Amino acid sequence: MRPNGRHAAGASQLSAIRMWAMCLLLLSAVAMNPTAAKAAPSQAAATTHVYLLRGVLNIFSLGLDTIGARLEAQGIPVTVANFVSWSSLADEAATAYRTGRVKTIILVGHSSGATALPDMIAKLNQLGVPVKLAIGLDSVFKTRLSTGAERYINIYIGDGPGEPVRAAAGLRGKLDNVDVRGTGVGHITIDKSEAIQRRVIAEIDAAIMRSRGPAAPVAEPGAPRRARSAAATAPSRN
């Protein structure tokens, strides 16, 4: 006996409805538990630590908090602090590096926080700890980089208060001064600019990808510093 065409069509429609229902249930489960859809952070990201140094008063560098939140969403540990903490943060980073909990150290600073970066790098180098990447946003004093990160990027506004970073003789590591005058950003807004934030995060992501290679050479522990940046001697301003 041949099956009724109407019954066959109904069975086919019922199968399709069941398939759609299963798909909707799966989508609902993902929506209710979005973390299940996230990829686990890579080992390189999990063993990286990014230190973000704000300028004075902790009220003019809040774009660093946004950058930090975006990095944490990628599974990258961060610390956001005022620039005056750079020395104790260097000690903290060195301890974490020696224990193996942290293998890649990245520094970002805005305004006076950017001016303090060379001092923090120098102290880490003295402790035998390499710095993979440092990014300064509109450093406000003339700053000389005497000991190096593997790469140092100084993003500054050439017709504003920001200054290019000078390389001392014998500097190891790559130094890039990037003048962003004419882009519409100012000293107070550079850290909050979406384009600048994307650039900073992209550079950090690229450095983490490179971190699987050999680390750049650093000064031996206890080696004397050839030059001192202005961060510790100049009065603070944002």
Residue spans per domain, the chain: 5-37, 43-232
Q: Write out the H or E segment, with its range, that includes residue 109.
A: strand 104-110
Chain segment 143-170, per-residue pLDDT in tens: 788 888 999 999 999 998 888 998 987 7
Residue 34: Cβ within 10 Å count: 8
H or E element in which residue 126 lies? helix 117-126
Query: Strand, helix or coil at 88?
Result: helix
Q: Hey, what amino acid is at 19?
A: M
CATH topology of domain 43-232: Rossmann fold (3.40.50)
**Per-residue pLDDT tens digits for 29-84:** 333 333 333 344 588 999 999 999 999 888 899 999 999 999 999 999 999 999 99
Whether the model clears a pTM of 0.75, i.e. scores above it, the answer is no
β-bridge partners, 52 = 80, 108
- Per-residue pLDDT tens over the stretch 161-218: 888 998 987 788 899 999 999 999 999 999 999 999 999 999 999 999 987 655 444 4
